[in-house]
Amino acid sequence: MTTSARLGADAAEAGPGMPAGVYVGAPAGRRFSFELAVHPRSAGQARRLTRARLSGWSVGEDTCETAALVISELVTNALVHTASRVIVCELRDDARRLRISVRDEGCTPGEPHPSPRRPEEEHGRGLLLVEAVSSAWGAQEAGSGLLVWADLRRAGDDAREAEAGADGVRGTGTSWL
């Protein structure tokens, strides 16, 4: 495992006057990249690294477990459906979302997409699962490979938004009777 340069950053994420690739609202140190050699144990290693980093960032347990599931599915797809020798993973976190990205070295033409499966089949549900637990996901070409990403809402965001109320001002805990 080696630390890698950040994945293909999207200029649309940059704010006015900010360079492309700056994740708006991200606290310092909230970006983590790692490379995995293609190996049957790579998905498990990606889960362990993801859990460890997100725990260190004090990300909630629900978000941490969902992120481990998503990265496992994305890494497994890269292992099974590409001719990659190395897979690059990245976690980016801000107050509203956690983005998980996996970049492969390519081989299979076209973008991945969930496909309907028969109930008795044991494989082929990974992207359906990613779609079900993510607020958004997608894929884009990255050099000769493919970058697949998924966004997770931070666990507890709904509670924080409800606490803030319609005007966006966070409550103080004072009750008016």
**Confidence (pLDDT) at 112:** 59
SS3 102: strand
Structural domain contains residue 60: yes
Structural domain contains residue 97: yes
Instruction: Using CA atoms of 71, 97, 152, 19 in order, give the dihedral in degrees to the nearest 10.
Output: -50
Structural domain contains residue 170: no
Structural domain contains residue 35: yes
Q: Rounded to whole angstroms, how far apart are CA atoms 31 and 98?
A: 10
Q: Which residue has the higher pLDDT, 36 or 127?
A: 36
Domain that holds residue 41: 30-108+137-158
CATH number for the domain spanning 82: value is 3.30.565.10
**How many domains does the chain contain in total?**
1
pLDDT band at residue 83 using 50, 70 and 90 as cut-offs: confident
> Per-residue pLDDT averaged across 83-111, rounded?
87
pLDDT digits (tens, 9 = 90+) for 34-77: 999 999 999 999 999 999 999 999 999 999 999 999 999 999 99
Q: Which residue has the higher pLDDT, 48 or 162?
A: 48
Structural domain contains residue 70: yes
